[in-house]
Chain A
Amino acid sequence: MKWIFLSILIVYTVHLSGCASTKLYSSSLQDNIAITTRADADSAFSSVNIFLDIYEVNRACATKFLGSVKLYETKTLVGLPVNKNSYLSFRFVGSSFLGGSSSSTSFDTLLKPLKGYEYEIHARYVKGIYNVDILERRGAKGRKHRIESRELNQCRR
């Protein structure tokens, strides 16, 4: 009986840790992106979580997945390479407590952080409408201005 219990425990642990092995983004680069979020589901029986998937982009505009970051309302700092395109995919993942259903929609953009610049990103999902604002400023005291999202096929520009 003890062995059966242990086997179940091991399988369960492997299932939880191994099968749900989303690669987390990590880098030794200096943080140059600050991200805040707001996520309000449209009912008390559902929730929305926001994740950021980060991809490296090569000269041919091909992407390589580097990892994910779970985002919270409080500021999350991320370091992206400067003067080089990264592809960012903000995933809004909704789940229902009652129906066992889940859904996901995303906002994708290229971002090429410049040397000496700082970036603020606000990702928002409120009552089924989402938006991602990207603000850029030179240094800590520069004037913030909004930059437009860019599609992957614009990576050579």
Chain B
Amino acid sequence: MNKKLSFLVIISSFIITGCATKMPLTADEFRHMAPGSFSGGKESFEVNRSVASIGKTFKKMANKCLNKRVQMTESGYMHHMVVVTKYTPTVRIGKNRAELHLQYEHEKGVMKIHEMPEKGYYMIVMDVTGIGKSKSRVEFYRPSIAYKNVVEAVRGWATGKNIGCPDLTK
């Protein structure tokens, strides 16, 4: 599992930037870079929920599920590996708009090779805009290869279906 994690970190570091030397340092840069990258993508959809309701779910679930420090270990023949990762969510609620950002920082076990934003590299940015009394449009910038359960869970927070916490060790 950690081999997978390390592989993905290295690959995504190179690929999400298009082998450039820079990772997105702001949510805006992530919005621009993720859709065109090999390991990132963007999806847009509409949901029959108000921005206020989705923002409320973001606030409740982000702190409960994403504000975590995760340790993973793997032992085998002649190797023992420990990776500690801190995940930090940010929820912004504005007039007719809600945002959810998820950033991660490997505190142990993975070498930093790119400049990192204050709360860690961006993994997810979800923008929600109200387009009716109880209808919203969602722009979801997210990984396309790894972290499928995180993507699925956060999508569920927007749609209101299958609400749960993603296992950040996966």
Using a CB–CB cutoff of 8 Å, the interface residues on chain A facing chain B are: 42, 92, 94, 96, 99-105, 107, 124-125, 127-131, 149
Contacts and interface: CB of A to CB of B under 8 A. Distances in A.
Interface of B: 1-3, 64, 68, 70, 72-76, 148-149, 152-153, 156, 162-170
Contact of A99 (B76, B152, B168, B169): B76
B149 A101 contact: no
Contacts, number: 60
Main secondary structure, interface of B, reads: mixed
Nearest to B152: A129
Contacts of B70: 105
B169 A94 contact: yes
Contacts of B153: 129
Contact of A149 (B64, B148, B162, B170): B64
The DSSP consensus for interface residues of chain A is strand
Contact of A103 (B1, B75, B76, B148): B1
A102 B74 CA distance: 7
A136 to B, nearest CB: 19
